[in-house]
Structure 1
Amino acid sequence: MTLSIAYLGPPGTYTESAAIACTDWLAQTANTPSVLCPCPSIAQTLRVTASGQTHLAVVPVENSIEGSVSMTLDTLWQLDMLRIQQALVLPISHALLSFAETTNTIQTVYSHPQALAQCQGWLEAFLPSVQLVPTNSTTESLQHLGNNPTIGAIAPQRAAQLYNLPVLAHPINDHPDNCTRFWVLSLEPSPGGNYTSLAFSVPANVPGALAKPLQIFAQRGINLSRIESRPQKRSLGDYLFFIDIEADATLPAVQSALAELKTHTETLKIFGSYAVLPVAKVSASSNDS
């Protein structure tokens, strides 16, 4: 059976590179062929998989410079039937694409909000007066280039190769070790691994409401590698908390912690246990199927 993999398109995005790495992982571990299915947004990527239209979804969850991807977390909370199968860590190296001869003529730069934020220092140093315009993906920003020397777009070098577009500057991200963690999700149970991701809401915004859940893990010697708060979109001060722990959910200590955590939370959602796979850079000539 060929597995379909939803990802944030169009082709050439960093998420497509992560999805290509996912196809390699599937080929090596399960000898399973796959096909990539581009989607217009992160939310749509998750929804088509939650509805069974695709087998897997690949979405960005956290960047080393800009932190968590809020759209992924918010949508996953709504679609809590999805389970994490694997995490992929991909190096990110941004390029400025433009038909301009120099940066002096550029007046507007398009890209995904995460990419714009990850290049903020470079933009302030070399293009301090340009208008920054967000797009749904880095590759979508290329649609605005035309042959206009006043327009620039921040995108992967791979996208420049795929669409035969000139690279004016590279790399332009603010830190050389920029990387993004992606999740591979499906409706299947998680396979297990060294990391477990979960989220919860607390019954009330009162002193100690968050301290008690965190103490549950500390008392058992379970390390938290990430904690992120997101508004629950009901009222001010009403938050959800996303947590990654460095342990498999099947371990007795973790099961005990989760059982106790449930008594201190309003809603508890466990997204699964999984392994993390570092990914080398994906070239433009990689097989997309």
Structure 2
Amino acid sequence: MTVSIAHLGPVGTYTEQAALAYASWLHQQTRQETILCPYPSIASTLRAVAQAQAELAVVPVENSIEGSVAVTLDTLWQLDTLQIQLALVLPIAHALLSHAQTLDDIQNVYSHPQALAQCQGWLEQFLPRVHLISTNSTTEALQQLEQDVKAGAISSLRASQLYNLPILASGINDYPDNCTRFWVLSQDCSQSSYHLASQNNSHTSLAFSLPANVPGALVKPLQVFAQRGINLSRIESRPTKRSLGEYLYFIDLEADINSSAVQSALVELTAQTEILKSFGSYNILGMRD
């Protein structure tokens, strides 16, 4: 059976690059064949798996420069049925692609908001007067560049080859150590061939809401982990979208959910939270660009 992997398209996005790297790794582990299925947004990528249109989704969750990808967290909370199978870390190197002859000819620059933000300093220094236009992905606007020689797009070196576009500037992200973490998610199908069970997962991801916004409401849940010596590698708040000042909290633990310490913590945490969701335990793989 061929495993379908949903990802943010069109062809040439960093997410597709991560999905290809994962597909290669999965084939090495299981000899499993895969097919990549591009979707127009991160939310639709996740919904494809929740609605059984695809078996796996690869989505960005955090960048080393710009932090968390909000739409991934928000959609994961809303869907409530997906589990993280693996995390991938991919180096990100941005380039400005354009048919323009010089930077002075550029009037508009297109890209995903994360890519624009990751190159903000470079854009302010070299293209301070251009219009920055957000797109659903780093490759969405590439096919328009041939018709508009005064436009540029921030994308990857790989995309320049795929779309046969000149590179006007490369290495334009503000910090050289630019990495994005992706999650590989599926429905909770532990018997599936692409689910590689492990007794030693390094991380667990949870999210919870609080019953009331009162002093100490967040401290108590965090103490549950501190008292058991469980380290938190990430904590992120997102609006509940119910009322101003109400938040959801996403946390990553450096521990396996099946450990006795985490199991004990979850029992206590259930009593201190309004809603508690577990997105599973997983390991993290570093991928080469």
Q: Which amino acid aligns with 1:170?
A: S
3-state DSSP of counterpart to 1:248: coil
Give the TM-score taking structure 1 as reference length.
0.96
Q: Which amino acid aligns with 1:55?
A: E
Please name the residue that 1:218 is paired with: 226
Long gaps (5+) in structure 1: 282-289
* Native 8 Å contact 2:91 2:288 kept in 1: yes
Long gaps (5+) in structure 2: none
Q: Distance in 1 between matches of 2:149 and 2:32?
A: 45
Please name the residue that 1:109 is paired with: 109
* Native 8 Å contact 2:143 2:163 kept in 1: no
After superposition, what is the alpha-carbon deviation per residue over 1:64-95, rounded to whole angstroms, capped at 9, x for unaligned? 00000000000000111100000000000000
Please name the residue that 2:268 is paired with: 260
Q: Which amino acid aligns with 2:64?
A: S
Question: What is the deviation of 1:149?
Answer: 2.6
Percent sequence identity is: 68
Please name the residue that 2:9 is paired with: 9
* Native 8 Å contact 1:83 1:271 kept in 2: yes
3-state DSSP of counterpart to 1:140: coil
Q: Distance in 1 between matches of 2:142 and 2:164?
A: 11
Question: What is the deviation of 1:26?
Answer: 1.1
Q: How does 1:78-117 map to 2 (within 5 A)?
A: 78-117=78-117
Question: What is the deviation of 1:184?
Answer: 0.3
* Native 8 Å contact 1:103 1:127 kept in 2: yes
Please name the residue that 1:286 is paired with: none
Q: Distance in 1 between matches of 2:140 and 2:7?
A: 13
After superposition, what is the alpha-carbon deviation per residue over 1:164-199, rounded to whole angstroms, capped at 9, x for unaligned? 000100010000010000000001247351100010
Please name the residue that 1:39 is paired with: 39
Please name the residue that 1:129 is paired with: 129
Q: Which amino acid aligns with 2:112?
A: H
Question: What is the deviation of 1:113?
Answer: 0.2
Q: Which amino acid aligns with 2:244?
A: L
- After alignment, is 143-152 or 193-202 more displaced? 143-152
1:204 to 196, 208, 212: 212
Please name the residue that 2:167 is paired with: 167
What is the number of residues matched between the two proteins? 281
Q: Which amino acid aligns with 1:103?
A: L
Please name the residue that 2:58 is paired with: 58
Q: Distance in 2 between matches of 1:63 and 1:168?
A: 24
Give the TM-score taking structure 2 as reference length.
0.96
* Native 8 Å contact 1:141 1:154 kept in 2: no
Q: Distance in 2 between matches of 1:225 and 1:3?
A: 31
3-state DSSP of counterpart to 1:220: coil
Please name the residue that 2:29 is paired with: 29
* Native 8 Å contact 2:96 2:153 kept in 1: yes
1:280 aligns with 2:285: no
Q: Distance in 1 between matches of 2:211 and 2:144?
A: 47
Q: Which amino acid aligns with 1:262?
A: T
Question: What is the deviation of 1:101?
Answer: 1.1
Runs of 4+ in 1 over 4 A off after TM superposition: none
Question: What is the deviation of 1:161?
Answer: 0.2
After superposition, what is the alpha-carbon deviation per residue over 1:196-245, rounded to whole angstroms, capped at 9, x for unaligned? 00100000111011100000000000000000000010010010000000
After superposition, what is the alpha-carbon deviation per residue over 1:136-165, rounded to whole angstroms, capped at 9, x for unaligned? 000102133124231010001101100100
Q: Distance in 2 between matches of 1:206 and 1:25?
A: 46
Question: What is the deviation of 1:31?
Answer: 1.3
3-state DSSP of counterpart to 1:116: helix
Question: What is the deviation of 1:29?
Answer: 1.3
